Structure 1
């Protein structure tokens, strides 16, 4: 029987050790390597060519989303299953857009994890029920979350304390355009000013400092 070759990428040694023990209980799984950050994961994929990478999102040196993007562009045959404690809309969407095949939360039952690894190895998308619900809610939800990339860029610069004039200069657009983007953002978030926009965006996970 050919076994599914798995690489673990997580910055917590205890988590990795637990996953090794868990996955090794399955006769069709083989854990071929471990990585403590995204950069190590990328190097390990080059050397070991696993079928499935179990990837955490928040890691030092290179985060999970950056690692997913690089692995998928260089090794499109490698499937990536996100296994994380983070379930904000922005985390989920960024991981899926980067090329993750699946997205599970760390409190997932072991049988569901095993099933997800097997499905991912076949290239089938897997989302744990809470994650699927979040994504569906986002797709069906009001426009408040659907800020354009430019609106997000402007808001991120507002969060860093830049004035409209400085933002205009940095993004090479007019001040009037900056104001227009901010007005659209205020409308979508249901707020009246810059501070409230940043606060709400941070609370909802749309923006991260």
Structure 2
């Protein structure tokens, strides 16, 4: 039986070492590589195919959400599982919207991690049991911000957010909107300030909460 090829991505080496030790005990799973951020993931995939990507949400250079969007666009056959400590329903919903196959918490048991890899490989959705209710609440009970709480987001900025959520790269956004990549970068910086977020995970989360996408 051919082994399930897994790539691990986390910016903490101790986490990578622990995961490799767990999966080494299962003969059906082979860890073919590790990465410390999303860019390293994309570089790895240029040279080697994988079945499942298990990655952290918060990583430097390129976070888990943005990495998932790029991976699913260029390598749609790859199953992506987020492994994180964040259990916010809106973030979980956002990840599934951009193509993630699973969402597991870092306190999951060894057995759950191994089974999650196998289920994802078979095309099944993977979600830590108690997160199901949080995701459903996020889908049906989107909080409406108080009047005046949402800053003025321009029509062009909303277009940028929507394209980011649709897995467009900075260059592709520039091409779609007939502007330069510098202009796109400026829009993104302005959005980070207006939405009071530090990365695309926060941007997409607030955009979903505010009903922008």
TM > 0.5 fold call:
yes
Deviation >6 Å, runs of 4+: none
> What is the number of equivalent residue pairs in this alignment?
161
**Residue 125, structure 1, aligned to residue 125, structure 2:** yes
Query: CA-atom RMSD, angstroms?
Result: 2.6
Task: Verify the 8 A CA contact 2:7 2:33 in the aligned structure 1.
Answer: yes
Q: Return closer, same or farther for 1:44/1:171 CA change in 2, 3 Å cut-off.
A: same
Q: Is the 8 A contact 2:90 2:138 kept in 1?
A: no
Is the Cα–Cα contact under 8 Å of residues 10 and 55 in structure 2 kept in the other structure? Answer: yes
Aligned equivalent of 1:34: 34
Query: TM-score, normalised to structure 2's length?
Result: 0.69
Residue in 1 aligned with 2:59?
A: 59
Cα distance in 1 for residues equivalent to 2:90 and 2:61: 20
Q: 1:33·1:48 contact (CA, 8 Å) conserved in 2?
A: no
Matches within 5 A, 1:142-161: 143-144=142-143, 155=150, 158=151
Superposed displacement of residue 96, structure 1: 1.0
Q: Who is 1:77 aligned against?
A: 77
Aligned to 1:48: 48
The alpha carbon displacement at 1:172 in A equals 6.6
Structure whose residues are more often helix by fraction = 1
- The alignment's TM-score, normalised by the length of structure 1, stands at 0.70
Q: How does 1:90-129 map to 2 (within 5 A)?
A: 90-129=90-129
1:90-145 Cα distance to aligned partner (Å, 9 max, x none) = 3212211111000000001111111110010112111111221211222343x426
Counterpart contact for 2:102–2:127, Cα < 8 Å = yes
Which runs of no fewer than 5 residues in structure 2 stay unpaired? 158-194, 197-201, 208-213
Closer/same/farther in 2, CA of residues 172 and 116 from structure 1, 3 Å limit: closer
Higher relative CO (Cα under 8 Å, sequence separation at least 6) belongs to 2
Which aligned pairs between 1:164-203 and structure 2 lie closer than 5 A?
167=152, 170-171=154-155
Deviation at 1:171, TM superposition (A): 3.5
Q: Which runs of 5+ in 1 are unaligned?
A: 159-166, 174-197, 200-204
Q: Provide the C-alpha distance between the structure 2 equivalents of 1:111 and 1:133, rounded to a whole number of angstroms.
A: 22
| Residue matched to 1:23 | 23
